């Protein structure tokens, strides 16, 4: 057993996400301690060799790292700082890792409370869903000190294939919120595309298959997120001809989609905004089609 695996890991919250994450820690060299309000959630882990705990405080007194996967800010506060919370028993040097998506301000406040006890706090939201957790393929965005990041690296690597040290406490949550902003705006755009296709008499289940197939090859929206700044792209920059080409294709196709929507009587507000914003967002400015339509 290496030095960074000689501590027990606690896991609080064994729901749809927490259970598959914790399952991958069952053979953690230092041992796994689990806590959940539901006895039926604890039993499979106890059968697998984990130590059940009745409260977060009971779990924390045995562990060097405690992961938390509960519903919201209120539950996180209760688990960390409540009467039977982790801070009641956590030893100095313990790292509390919250994987729930909470407010970044909540993370900063809890980190300050933890620091008073000599305990480290990291906000470590996750991306990828339960299937990724089951196969150890999650992305984890960590906000916290370099020392805390190093301590959680080994246990987190059991359920994640990508670990990003986003910055200080709160940065992990901020990165997750930016990632999910893209996710849910894309869902709204998908709904708009389905309305257009359905009104045109197309099979929208087949459209969905095409989208998933093509995105698996192109990478979807992430395929343009390759620069380290959102500043305008200078004409001599490597990216200028690439993003100008993307803009020109995008403006053409968005314009054609808007013309189709107008003929069919389908409002496409996201497409209209995208036509005006695409070139500027890419950093190369609007193309001739966007300028003509403005």
Residue count of the chain, please give it: 294
Contacts of 25-33 spanning 24+ positions with Cβ under 8 A: 25/155, 25/158, 25/159, 26/50, 28/155, 28/158, 29/1, 29/5, 30/1, 30/5, 30/6, 30/64, 31/62, 32/8, 33/8, 33/9, 33/59, 33/62, 33/63
Q: What is the pLDDT of residue 272?
A: 97
Dump pLDDT digits (tens) for 210-261: 999 999 999 999 999 999 999 999 999 999 999 999 999 999 999 999 999 9
Q: State the catalytic residue, choosing from 54, 176, 252, 293.
A: 176
Q: Is 176 a catalytic residue?
A: yes
Dump pLDDT digits (tens) for 58-86: 999 999 999 999 999 999 999 999 999 99
Whether residue 10 contacts residue 59, with contact meaning beta carbons closer than 8 Å, is answered with yes
Q: What is the pLDDT of residue 3?
A: 57
Torsion of CA 33, 17, 121, 28, to 10 degrees: 40
Q: What's the pTM value of the predicted model, to 2 decimals?
A: 0.92
CATH fold of 3-168, please? Rossmann fold (3.40.50)
**What are the residue boundaries of the structural domains of the chain, listed by start?**
3-168, 175-293
Q: What is the pLDDT of residue 271?
A: 97
Which phi and psi (to 5°) does residue 142 adopt? -105, 130
Q: What is the pLDDT of residue 2?
A: 54
Q: What is the pLDDT of residue 249?
A: 97
What kind of architecture, by CATH, is found in domain 175-293? Orthogonal Bundle (1.10)
Spans of the chain, pLDDT less than 50: 1
């Amino acid at each position: 057993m290496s030095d960074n695996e000689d501590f027990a890991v606690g896991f609080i919250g064994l729901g749809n996400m927490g259970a598959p994450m914790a399952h991958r820690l069952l053979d953690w060299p230092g041992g796994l301690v689990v806590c959940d309000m539901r006895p039926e959630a604890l039993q499979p882990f106890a059968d697998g060799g984990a130590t059940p705990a009745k409260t977060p405080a009971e779990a924390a007194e045995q562990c060097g790292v405690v992961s938390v996967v509960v519903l919201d800010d209120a539950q996180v506060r209760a688990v960390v700082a409540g009467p039977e919370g982790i801070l009641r028993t956590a030893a100095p040097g313990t790292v509390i890792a919250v994987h729930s998506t909470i407010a970044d301000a909540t993370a900063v406040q809890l980190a300050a409370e933890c620091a008073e006890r000599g305990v480290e706090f990291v906000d470590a939201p996750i991306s990828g869903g339960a299937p990724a957790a089951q196969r150890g393929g999650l992305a984890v965005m960590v906000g916290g000190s370099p020392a805390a990041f190093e301590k959680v690296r080994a246990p987190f690597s059991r359920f994640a294939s990508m670990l990003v040290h986003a910055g200080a406490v709160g940065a992990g949550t901020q990165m997750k919120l930016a990632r999910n902003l893209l996710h849910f705006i894309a869902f709204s755009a998908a709904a708009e595309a389905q309305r257009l296709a359905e009104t045109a008499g197309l099979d929208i289940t087949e459209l969905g298959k095409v989208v998933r197939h093509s995105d698996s090859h192109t990478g979807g929206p992430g395929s343009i997120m390759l620069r380290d700044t959102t500043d305008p792209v200078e004409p001599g920059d490597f990216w200028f001809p690439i993003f100008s080409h993307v803009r020109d294709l995008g403006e053409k196709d968005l314009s054609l989609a808007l013309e189709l929507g107008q003929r069919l009587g389908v409002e496409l507000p996201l497409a209209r905004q995208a036509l005006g914003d695409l070139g500027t967002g890419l950093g190369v400015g609007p193309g001739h089609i966007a300028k003509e339509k403005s």
